[in-house]
């Protein structure tokens, strides 16, 4: 496993240069174009940054990510480089500014390899709603890599980059991480700036790392987290995301919410996650059964909130200022109607309609307001659980990765597959997905740990303990 921390050592010891490393990754990217991980490959820019990084390493002021080749999800704004959200609507859109996370990564001189494919506007759990490149699962190319950060998961899992950034609104980092056998964390809402992350559900979205180890996730979070003057929803904090690594788990209480192990969860997945529980118990943790009664409303509430916010966030794509514009409209009304009908894919339109409906006068109280009430209740239940335990252990997804094309015509079934991940977004808490073996067909299974707000470091520490004894599965590519 080639981790960021390993590459750091080798770069600092001059075993190879960042330019050599970057060329190696670019070669691998080109050899694996069939995996469809990238929408845009930034070959020239990557080599320029790599040689700059080498200068910095030579001068002895390398930071943890200097010279490290990374991929970025295609909904994070990169100045002058296309940021498409895998949508026809933004197919040729190059933002005039860098997202805060990009500024932070660039200040460390990372090597930015390219933009990874995703579900269109991050709406989906398979990356199949992409209007551009459709990524494939490196463990079985007939299967989906999960989504929406499927391209990032594919790229990390197939070794096309050392680590990547994804974004998570209802599981979009954790579920593809689980499907592709890598580690991904959705940090506490407010730890990482959303400035420059193309908004889907603003009160739920967070950027986070996807990598080959929990430690790598911590290294990246240390680089990208922090209060941002461009995003007032970020909070002042001084978390060292690596601070719990090496700490014992002895005496920690791990909650197992029974609702997450019920019907609809694949037996093999359930068994693998219960094995993880046993592992932690053997390491000295205490297992506690807990309960989250609102889970049965969580998916509905999540889709109402996320779609309501999305319906407003995506209204700006009207063909007036940037992005796709229909040909020869007769009027302004026709311009926006045709632009939006032609520019958005089916799933995006479905969610815009759902959200518009939920916010309409006469329906607001019945839908949006009720969803807010569920959100409050869900937060309260999390508070209750985390007053009794340090961590909560659940499956990341009810199943392993499925075949491309399955579920695509059954949106409700697809939405229900988010059951294990949405509560972390609703409650704003951190959650990490870590691989825990494969099922009989050889597809990876992931488990999730979550904790109370701003306890992100604890998750990374606990995940690291597991990873040290249980290496990630590797894809044969």
Would you please indicate which residues are annotated as catalytic (active-site) residues?
73, 148, 172
Which one among 96, 282, 328, 409 touches another protein, defined by CB under 8 A?
96
User: Is residue 198 close enough to count as binding another protein by CB under 8 A?
Assistant: yes
User: Is residue 378 close enough to count as binding another protein by CB under 8 A?
Assistant: no
Q: How distant is the alpha carbon of residue 33 from its chain centre?
A: 21
C-alpha dist (Å) from residue 95 to 84, 99, 217, 231, 354: 10, 9, 26, 18, 28
Between the two ends of the chain, the Cα-to-Cα distance in Å is: 14
Among the listed residues 369, 388, 387, 392, the one whose alpha carbon sits nearest the alpha carbon of residue 458: 392
Whether the CB-CB separation of 429 and 404 falls below 8 Å is answered with no
**Binding pattern to another protein, positions 302-321, x when CB under 8 A?**
------xx-xx--xx-x-xx
φ/ψ bin of 102: left (φ > 0), alpha (ψ from -120 to 50), beta (otherwise): alpha
Residues 156-195 contacting another protein, CB under 8 A? 194-195
Q: How distant is the alpha carbon of residue 378 from its chain centre?
A: 21
When the beta carbons of 244 and 313 are compared against another protein, the nearer one is 313
CA dist 439 and 77 (Å) reads 37
User: Is residue 441 close enough to count as binding another protein by CB under 8 A?
Assistant: no
When the beta carbons of 194 and 452 are compared against another protein, the nearer one is 194
The minimum distance between CB 189 and another protein, in angstroms, equals 10
Instruction: Count Cβ atoms below 10 Å from residue 87 Cβ, excluding itself.
Output: 28
* Total chain residues near another protein (CB under 8 A): 42
User: Is residue 74 close enough to count as binding another protein by CB under 8 A?
Assistant: no
The minimum distance between CB 356 and another protein, in angstroms, equals 7
Beta bridge partners of 266: none
Whether the CB-CB separation of 273 and 447 falls below 8 Å is answered with yes
User: Is residue 373 close enough to count as binding another protein by CB under 8 A?
Assistant: no
The minimum distance between CB 194 and another protein, in angstroms, equals 6
User: Is residue 34 close enough to count as binding another protein by CB under 8 A?
Assistant: no
Contacts of 71 (CB under 8 A, 6+ apart): 37, 38, 112, 113, 114, 115, 116, 151, 152, 155, 156, 160, 161, 163, 164, 165
Residues 267-286 contacting another protein, CB under 8 A? none
User: Is residue 326 close enough to count as binding another protein by CB under 8 A?
Assistant: no
User: Is residue 368 close enough to count as binding another protein by CB under 8 A?
Assistant: yes
Which residue stretch of 144-152, 356-364, 393-401, 416-424 sits at the interface with another protein (rule: CB under 8 A)?
356-364
Instruction: Enumerate binding residues for another protein (CB under 8 A).
Output: 75-77, 83, 85, 90, 93, 95-97, 99, 194-199, 202-203, 229-233, 308-309, 311-312, 315-316, 318, 320-322, 332, 336, 356, 359-361, 364, 368
């Amino acid at each position: 496993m080639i981790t960021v921390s390993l590459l750091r050592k080798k770069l600092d010891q001059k075993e190879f240069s960042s330019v050599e490393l970057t060329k190696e990754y670019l070669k691998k990217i080109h050899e694996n174009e069939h995996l469809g991980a990238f929408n845009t490959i930034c070959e020239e820019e990557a080599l320029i940054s790599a040689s700059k990084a080498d200068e910095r390493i030579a001068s002895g002021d390398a930071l943890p990510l200097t010279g490290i080749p990374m991929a970025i999800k295609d909904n994070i704004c990169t100045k002058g480089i296309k940021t498409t959200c895998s949508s026809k609507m933004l197919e040729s859109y190059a933002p005039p500014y860098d997202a805060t996370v990009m500024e932070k990564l660039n200040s460390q001189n990372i090597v930015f390899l390219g933009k990874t494919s995703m579900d269109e506007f991050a709406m989906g759990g398979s990356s199949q709603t992409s209007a551009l490149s459709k990524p494939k699962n490196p463990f079985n190319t007939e299967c989906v890599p999960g989504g929406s950060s499927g391209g990032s998961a594919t790229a990390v899992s197939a070794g096309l980059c050392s680590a990547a950034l994804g974004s998570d609104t209802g599981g979009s980092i954790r579920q593809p991480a689980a499907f592709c056998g890598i580690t991904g964390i959705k940090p506490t809402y407010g730890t990482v700036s959303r400035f420059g992350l193309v908004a889907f559900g603003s009160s739920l979205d967070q950027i986070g790392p996807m990598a080959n180890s929990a430690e790598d996730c911590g290294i990246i979070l240390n680089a990208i987290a922090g209060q941002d003057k461009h995003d007032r929803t970020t909070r002042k904090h001084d978390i060292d995301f690596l601070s719990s690594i090496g700490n014992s788990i002895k005496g920690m209480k791990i909650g197992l919410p029974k609702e997450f192990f019920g019907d609809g969860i694949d037996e093999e997945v359930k068994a693998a996650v219960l094995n993880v529980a046993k592992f932690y118990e053997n390491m000295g943790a205490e297992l506690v059964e807990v309960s989250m009664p609102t889970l049965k409303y969580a998916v509905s509430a999540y889709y109402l909130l996320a779609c309501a916010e999305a319906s407003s966030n995506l209204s700006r794509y009207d063909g007036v200022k940037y992005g796709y514009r229909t040909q020869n409209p007769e009027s302004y009304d026709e311009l926006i109607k045709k632009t939006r009908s032609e520019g958005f894919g089916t799933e995006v339109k479905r969610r815009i309609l759902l959200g518009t409906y939920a916010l309409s006068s006469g329906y607001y109280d019945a839908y949006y307001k009720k969803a807010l009430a569920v959100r409050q209740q869900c937060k309260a239940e999390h508070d209750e659980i985390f007053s009794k335990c340090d961590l909560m252990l659940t499956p990341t997804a009810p199943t392993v990765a499925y075949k491309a094309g399955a579920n695509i015509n059954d949106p409700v079934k697809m939405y229900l597959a988010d059951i294990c991940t949405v509560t972390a977004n609703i409650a704003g808490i951190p959650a990490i997905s870590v691989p825990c073996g494969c099922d009989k067909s050889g597809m990876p299974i992931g488990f999730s740990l979550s904790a109370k707000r701003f306890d992100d470091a604890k998750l990374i520490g606990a995940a690291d303990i597991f990873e040290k004894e249980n290496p990630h599965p590797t894809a044969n590519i």
